[in-house]
Every structure is written in C-alpha cells, then in structure tokens.
Amino acid sequence: MGDREKIRVVELFAGVGGFRIGLERANPDLFEVVWANQWEPEKKVQFAFDCYTRNFTKGIHVNEDIAKVPNEVFEEQKPDLIVGGFPCQDYSVARSLSGEKGIQGKKGVLFWEIKRAIENSFPKYVLLENVDRLLKSPSKQRGRDFAVMLATFRDLGYTVEWRVINAADYGHAQRRRRIFIFAYKNGITFDKEQRELTPEEIVYKEGFFAKPFPIEQEPYKNRIAEVVLPLDIVDISDNFSFNFHPSGIMRDGDVYTVHQTPIGENPVPLKDILVDESEVDEKYYLTKEMEEKFAYLRGPKKIERTSSTGHKYIFSEGGMSPTDDLDKPGRTMLTSEGTVNRSTHIVEVNGRKRFLTPVECERLNEFPDNWTKGMTDRQRYFCMGNALVVGLVEKMGKRIVEIQKESKNDIVQLDLFSVG
C-alpha cells in the first residue's frame, strides 16, 4: 500500500496511546500515526510520554507544551485525521482589542490548540473525546462551551456529529460515558453523500456513529431539539444557551439533537477481566483497617457541614454495595483508582477483598496487559483513569476506513479546498 493511500494521523494529548491502539487495531495497514504530542505540565517525570514512546516506535513523538509547537509543524505533517482526548475547560471568547484581529480565546485552553492544528493542516477528519458534561457547561450558561466549539468547526468549514456513548451499552467491560466528536471537511465525498440525507436519517441510521453504535428510532422521552447557531461566535460566548442532547449533528450552523436510546449488546462482566488469583500480589488485598474505612465510605451517611458563609446544612450520600458485582461491568474508572476512595473498585474473590490490579485496570480499558508497566502503581492507575475504552475507537476506526474507501479521490479535491 502506497503512502498516498494511508490515513496520516496526528495524535494530540496522546496520553498512553489509546487512540492509536484503537486505530491500529481497526486497520494497521491504513492508519499511520505520523506525529504525536504528549506533555504533562509541571511534571519532572513524563510518565505517559515515556510509556507512549516505549510502546510505539514509528512516527515523530514530541514531549513539549502544545502551545509552543509552531504552525508549520502541522502544515508539514499533512494529516488526514487529527485525534485527541482533551479536557473540558472554559471555551469563552472575546473580541480582540484591535477588532480586525477577530476573536481571542482564554490562554491555556487546549481546544484552541486543536483549532490551530486544524486551520494549519485542514485534515479530512477530526475525532475527539471528552467528558459528557461538556454538553452542559458552564452551569450558568448551559451549552455555551459546546456551541462555541461547534461554531468554531463551522467557521473552519466542517460538519460535526457527536454522540455520548456508554461503553458498557455496546459490549464493553466498563460503564464509562464519554462524548465523541467527529468532524469532517465540507466538500469531501462523505459530506456530499450525507447532504443527501435529513438530519434524522444521519443521527438514526446513516451517520458516522449510527452504524457502529445503533440506536432506537425514537428519541428518549421525546427529547429532540433544533437551533441555528448565531453567526458571531462572540455573541454565542456572551449570550447563547441551549440544551444539547447526547446525540446530534451540526451542519452549516444548523443543529439537530436528540436523546438517543442505544440498541445495546451484553457488556463484559467484571469477572471476565480479572487475572488469575495466583498472580495477585499480597499488596492489593485490603487490610482490616482498609475494610473498615471502605465500609464507611461506601455506606449511607448524613453529615452536618458548615459552608464558607457559616450556613449549616446536611450532606447526605446513598449507600453502595461493599464490593463491586462481578457479574456486571465495572463502574467508571477514575484517576483515584487504587486509593482508599469511595469510587475505587473493590472485588471479593475467594472470600478476600482487594483492589483491582494495574493489569485489570488496563483490561477495563482494553489496553494490552502491562502496557503501563515500568511506572509506579499510582501512575498506572492514574493513566488508566484518564484513558479511553480502546474498543470504541477501534469501531470508529473501522467506520473511518469505510468512509475512506468511498473517498479515494478526495486528496485532489482537498488540495483545492485548502488553497487560500
């Protein structure tokens, strides 16, 4: 296969490489990660980057602040696909002091680095992942941040589909809800085909997400909405508010969004990802003191607290099972996994309670065993708490392969689109 046939990938905020593993599992001959960046600010040891470079040898791997990467780097890489998981931040924008310079976003917000990468390379596709609260942030102006993102893609010449996916709904071992955002360049073959369809047909049957992640043909509780994004992105930042549902499409500023119901598959139960008990080090078993602490943390409670203004109130918390049900998929894994914390998984095997091992956490996200070996357990748990479920990306990768097969002539078209 010649280089022109490959899908050149730039991976931003690469972490320990979840996107890359998923894409390479989807088609190792087609996806080629040519450039990847991972940088953890204020950390002397770059654990995630070290893990990435230990496991991947091909391509350029960069360990520096993404804001310091010159525009020319993105131009030179000529990516067909940009991927990345980025934090949910404040995406508000303001008019620059000298009005002709357009808008300015807050410094340090990583989405603006994604925008910069796109506008200096104009890939055919962009695939991003974030926490699902992105749809509703900020709380005082719900939907503003996501609307700013959608308007940014609109202004760059892209159509956007999004879907909040719970991995366990589609046969995976973790109840992890994340929003995935797929943007594609206006004018490519896929875009032309999609423009023959209604927004309903795209979201329910024919779009990027509908095929690998099927849904019922009626919205949940009739939750469906449409809106037109204001042309002025500063106006959106200052005044716009809207209730985005977990699935939808934005094309030319027109938004169609629904709350979908998955047509699911049976999830993988927790018991299927456990290692053989003979391989579990004694340090992962709970001491008597830990068991007592977890019994309190996971039990129901009502506690009187005092706010910063002196107001007294009752903090209440419902109880949860003392251990995680081995016949169900795991709960959402957080970066605090493996610590004495209410959200940490506790399994009981052969009458003994213990933490999940780092390898089991890798399996919850469908990474290869010992992918993060070489760093401390605490760092291994942290990296997996930040990672995504690789199998979801693999399914999306296969969908991109389908789209790419229909778009073999797009390279010539895109060169024309990118001029000027």
| The pLDDT of residue 7 is above 80 | yes
Q: What number of other Cβ atoms are within 10 A of residue 170's Cβ?
A: 20
Residues 303 and 165 in one domain: no
Whose CA is closest to 3, among 26, 27, 34?
34
Query: What's residue 411's pLDDT?
Result: 53
Residues 312 and 413 in one domain: no
Residues 323 and 229 in one domain: no
| The pLDDT of residue 2 is above 80 | no
H helix runs in 100-180, sequence order: 111-119, 144-156
| Mean pLDDT in residue range 190-208 | 97
Higher per-residue confidence, 34 vs 301: 34
Number of domains in the chain: 2
Residues 79 and 210 in one domain: yes
Q: Give me the amino acid identity at 331.
A: R
Residues 41 and 127 in one domain: yes
Among 51-55, 279-283, 298-302, 367-371, whose mean pLDDT is lowest?
Answer: 298-302
| The pLDDT of residue 412 is above 50 | no
How far apart (Å, rounded) are the C-alpha atoms in residues 406 and 394? 19
Q: What number of other Cβ atoms are within 10 A of residue 23's Cβ?
A: 29
Residues 276 and 199 in one domain: no
Provide the CATH number for the domain around residue 374.
Answer: 3.90.120.10
Q: Please give the DSSP secondary-structure letter assigned to residue 338.
A: T
Tell me the residue ranges of DSSP E strands in 97-176.
Answer: 103-105, 125-131, 158-166
Among 212-226, 233-247, 294-308, 347-361, whose mean pLDDT is lowest?
Answer: 294-308
Range of the domain at 363: 270-386
Query: What's residue 246's pLDDT?
Result: 97
Residues 329 and 191 in one domain: no
| Mean pLDDT in residue range 8-30 | 97
| Mean pLDDT in residue range 373-397 | 96
Residues designated catalytic:
88
| Mean pLDDT in residue range 87-114 | 78
Provide the CATH number for the domain around residue 91.
Answer: 3.40.50.150
Structure tokens at 234: 């500063």
Residues 259 and 314 in one domain: no
Residues 148 and 187 in one domain: yes
| Mean pLDDT in residue range 42-64 | 93
pLDDT for 114-135, tens place per residue? Answer: 999 999 999 999 999 999 999 9
pTM confidence score: 0.92
- List 126's β-bridge partners, or say none: 82, 183
Among 177-186, 285-294, 410-419, whose mean pLDDT is lowest?
Answer: 410-419
Residues 223 and 283 in one domain: no
Residues 230 and 170 in one domain: yes
- List 118's β-bridge partners, or say none: none
How far apart (Å, rounded) are the C-alpha atoms in residues 53 and 387? 16
Residues 249 and 111 in one domain: yes
